[in-house]
Amino acid sequence: MYLIAILMLLFTVSIHELGHFFVGVLFKVNVKEVSIGIGPRLVSKTTKSGLKISLKLIPLVAYVLFDSKQLRNLYADEIEDKNYSWYMSPIPEGKKLLEETKMWQYILIMIAGVSVNFISFLILWPCCWAVFKANSVELINPFVSLGLSIKAIACCMVFKGGNGSNIFVDIPDLAGNNNWGLIFFQLLILMNLITAVFNIIPFPPLDGWKVIERIYVQKTKKQIPEKIETVLSLIGMFLMVYIFVSSILVKWLYW
């Protein structure tokens, strides 16, 4: 059951990233890499245009790496190193860096992933509800599950078991129905909703933060100090890891 959950999560974040990719390509931004998973590369292929398509070891997230001034500044001192020189390769003719897009183009690129997840959710939920209802099977309300999931996360962060259940805790109960279609679509609907909602939060490294950051730079003509951005990004990554670890520990303590 949890393997299905991981696969649904990977599928959801993959279509999210493809949203960024296609809108970025539409506005002629140079894309360096599209990766499914993180960590060491298992399989990698570079197209004639220089785009690297990778499958990596840890299949929990996906990402699109856009060519940018920030990326090039990061590897500016490594141009002679064959492991990093790829990041500094010349920009193909007719392509541009992410920062060279207009404000409205940048915002559309950043919200494209969220939009794909919302659209998927809005299509899947009523369609699946109608199909399962016709077969006398009730879907769990995804908004209730979202609220319970947020509550569960909050309880785990302070190491309390919490009283409310959510779709992830209820996976074994769903499995008891022996309705694999229900399990599959229930997870797919909720994960699209969760991915969309959480990614609009204006906190690094989420999409909402990237939009706020670009607006701030555009309006003030000042860059956010690198140290501040680094600290905020580290805090964001720490919170995500903490949520993941605390959830495991709480389940272990209370089960």
Say what the pLDDT of residue 224 is.
83
Q: 210 vs 23, 106, 110, 166, 234, CA distance in Å?
A: 16, 9, 7, 30, 15
The percentage of the chain sitting over the pLDDT mark of 70, rounded to a whole number, equals 87
pLDDT of 8: 84
Q: What is the DSSP string of 159-207?
A: T---S---TTTTHHHHHTTT-HHHHHHHHHHHHHHHHHHHHTSSSTTSH
Q: Work out the burial of residue 145: count CB atoms within 10 Å of its CB; fewer than 13 is exposed, 13-18 middle, 19 or more buried.
A: buried
Which of the 8 DSSP states describes residue 137? -
Q: What are phi and psi of 225, to 5 degrees?
A: -50, 135
Q: Please name every residue paired with 93 in a beta bridge, in sequence order, or none if there are none.
A: none
Residue 124 has pLDDT above 90, yes or no: yes
Q: What is the pLDDT of residue 164?
A: 54
Q: How does pLDDT run across 208-253, given as a tens digit for each residue?
A: 999 999 999 888 988 888 788 888 888 888 887 888 778 777 766 6
Q: Report the alpha-carbon angle 209-212-216, nearest 5.
A: 135
- Residue by residue, DSSP assigns 91-133 as PPTT-B-GGGS-HHHHHHHHHHHHHHHHHHHHHHHHHHHHHHH
Instruction: Indicate the pLDDT class of residue 83, thresholds 50, 70 and 90.
Output: low
- Closest Cα partner for 119 from 16, 13, 8? 16
- Reply yes or no on whether the pLDDT at 120 is more than 60: yes
CA dist 100 and 114 (Å) reads 22
- Write out the two tokens for 191: 């994960």
- pLDDT given for residue 200 in this prediction: 93
* pLDDT tens sequence across 4-31: 777 888 899 999 999 999 999 999 999 9
Q: Would residue 11 be called left, alpha or beta, if left means φ above 0 and alpha means ψ between -120 and 50 degrees?
A: alpha
* Averaged pLDDT for residues 104-133: 94
DSSP state of 29: B
pLDDT in tens, 157-203: 888 765 555 555 555 566 566 677 777 888 889 889 999 999 998 88
Of 84 and 239, the one with more pLDDT: 239
pLDDT at residue 233, rounded to an integer: 83
Residue 53 has pLDDT above 80, yes or no: yes
pLDDT for the residue 145: 81
